Amino acid sequence: MVQQLIIFGITETGQRFRPSDWAERLAGVMSQFRPPGMRGNRLTYSPYVVPTYLDGVRCVVVDHRLRDLEPLAWAFVCDFAKSNQLKTQERQAPPERPD
């Protein structure tokens, strides 16, 4: 099972994090980090760092496999969350839905 780090767009004091497109910006910066052999497209996000909404809150879901693939990239997203005092949560990735 894949572990994920969820970075919420809510600070530890309960304030909504700004700017409103922070999740897309962070995921955009991380878009170059992809699984080995996966061709990159500058217009797509990395499968390891994906912006989304959870319970109506803007979030970024970070796949723990990024830590092994690129430790400095993992450190960057963790430091981003810490320095901006954003709430985080660890979880197991939900099972993939069959097509």
Residue 33 confidence (pLDDT):
80
Work out the pLDDT band at 91, boundaries 50, 70, 90. confident
CATH code of the domain in which 48 resides: 3.30.70.2340
Taking residues 26-37, report their average pLDDT: 80
On whether residue 99 sits in a domain, the answer given is: no
Residue 99 confidence (pLDDT):
60
- Could you tell me the two tokens for 78? 């963790």
Say whether pLDDT at 5 is over 90: yes
On whether residue 97 sits in a domain, the answer given is: no
Range of the domain at 85: 3-92
Question: Is the distance from CB of 47 to CB of 19 less than 8 angstroms?
Answer: no
On whether residue 98 sits in a domain, the answer given is: no
Separation of alpha carbons 99 and 97, rounded Å: 6
- Name the domain count of the chain: 1
pTM of the entire predicted model: 0.85
